[in-house]
Amino acid sequence: MRVTGEVHLAGLGSWLPDEVTTADAVADGRYGEADRKASGMLAVRVAEDLPAPDMAVRAARTALRRAARTGLTADDFGALLHCATYHQGPDGWSAPHYVLHRTLDRPIGAAQVGPGCLGMLTALEMAAHRLAADDGKDAVLLTAADNFSPSLVDRWNSSRLFLLADGGAAAVVSRRGGFARLLSVGSVSAPVMEELHRGGEELFPPGITVGRSLNFEERSDYWRSRWAQGAAPPKVHLGDVVADAVDRVLAEADTGLEQVARICHTGYSEGALHTIYLDPLDVDAADGTWEFTRSIGHIGAADPFIGLERLWTRGEVGPGDRVLLLAAGPGMEVACAVVEITEPYLPATARPEEDL
């Protein structure tokens, strides 16, 4: 979608817990040395028992404080969109409204957005549509957070594509201006591939209700076995979907890949990062955020925005630079956005201890 109106990122925030190194995980038997070497990962962030919505609140408060310099107040927001890839709290309870209560605290709509790891980019597109359709409110707050510490989750071995990490991110989307202008945003899906994340699991009862763990590797093993027995694998490669989505969004932004200063991608392990993202685009790891994400891990939907915050606050991108935000998730679907940095980071907009 080409964004023709004034849609900006007015503020970003993140909250990351302490790191646990992959070397320590190997030393205490949680992670294999061969897997550690193959992944290229140095550490992941682990929040222990801090609820995911509280991490979203902390990130949102930073984003809101940074956005306040544009004149935005809580009364200017029309909605809150919260993204999550894992359980947030009690069944039948609303994490989005918990975040809303502890941030904007206004009687506006709050909703949870998916699917999975591209949720925050999906929410960004939804926010752009809302701002275009309703001129009564000037901003939308986006949040994302996950905590993969429950005992049913083995963050070190649930997938060879990534190591699950904890943390939160937030973004203020506004028509009043900000530090970056949204040029385009969109997604491409390959629904024939939805079964890859389902594996051999039945749809009912839901796995969590019978104590089944979140284990993508088991589902991958299921399909490897089926293919070895003669079942036909999907004819679509996720890397092709990535290339298609990026081509479309870049064209809508009147931008070539050579004009993109940096790519903020999902926090995958090294092999998966190249196979799924970098190689299909014919770009190097230095063009992305690998040197950062390899010490963070995969924090669900938050990854691209955590990466953008780091680049912006450290001055690695500045006015005139165009940045590609990129994520893939179950479905299979790939979402991306192109933003152009319009203002440098001003450290005075956040307390020193909150700067990255």
pLDDT tens, residue by residue, 186-230: 999 999 988 888 888 889 998 888 888 888 888 888 888 888 888
- Burial class of residue 29, CB neighbours in 10 A (0-12, 13-18, 19+): exposed
Percent of the chain with pLDDT over 90: 83
Say what the pTM is.
0.94
The mean pLDDT value of the chain amounts to 94
Same fold for the pair 8-178 and 183-343: yes
pLDDT top residue among 246 and 237 = 246
Domain 8-178 has CATH 3.30.1600.10: no
Contacts of 118 (CB under 8 A, 6+ apart): 187, 301, 327, 328, 329, 333, 334, 335
pLDDT value at 351 more than 80:
no
**Per-residue pLDDT at 54 exceeds 60:** yes
Q: What is the mean pLDDT of residues 323-333?
A: 95
Per the structure block, which two tokens stand in for 102? 């502890």
Res. 248: pLDDT tops 90: yes
Residue 352 reports pLDDT greater than 50: no
pLDDT of 329: 92
User: For 162-184, what is the mean pLDDT?
Assistant: 97
Specify the CATH number of the domain 183-343: 3.40.47.10
Q: What is the pLDDT of residue 348?
A: 60
Identify the sign of the CA torsion 195, 201, 207, 212. Answer: negative
* Predicted pLDDT at 356: 32
Angle between helices 303-313 and 119-133 (to 10 degrees): 80
Domain boundaries, the chain: 8-178, 183-343
pLDDT tens-digit series, residues 287-298: 999 999 999 999
Residue keyed to tokens 């897997």 = 35
**Residue 353 pLDDT greater than 60, yes or no:** no
pLDDT digits (tens, 9 = 90+) for 105-151: 999 999 999 878 999 999 999 999 999 998 999 999 999 999 999 99
CB atoms inside a 10 Å sphere around CB 52: 29
Q: What is the pLDDT of residue 43?
A: 98
∠ Cα 32 36 41 (to 5°): 145
For residues 316 and 313, give the distance between their C-alpha atoms in angstroms, rounded to a whole number. 8
163 vs 261: CA distance, rounded Å: 27
Before 191, cis peptide (omega within 30)? no
Check residue 29 and give its pLDDT: 97
Q: Which region among 48-62, 200-214, 324-338 has the lowest average model confidence (pLDDT)?
A: 200-214
Supply the pLDDT for residue 200. 84
Instruction: Give which of 9, 13, 8 is closest to 350, Cα–Cα.
Output: 13
Confidence check: pLDDT of 55 > 90: yes
- Please report the pLDDT score of residue 114 as a whole number: 85
pLDDT in tens, 67-79: 999 999 999 999 9
Q: How far is CA 336 from CA 2, 29, 164, 192, 215, in A?
A: 12, 37, 21, 20, 26
What is the reported pLDDT for 104?
A: 98
**pLDDT tens digits for 252-285?**
999 999 999 999 999 999 999 999 999 999 999 9
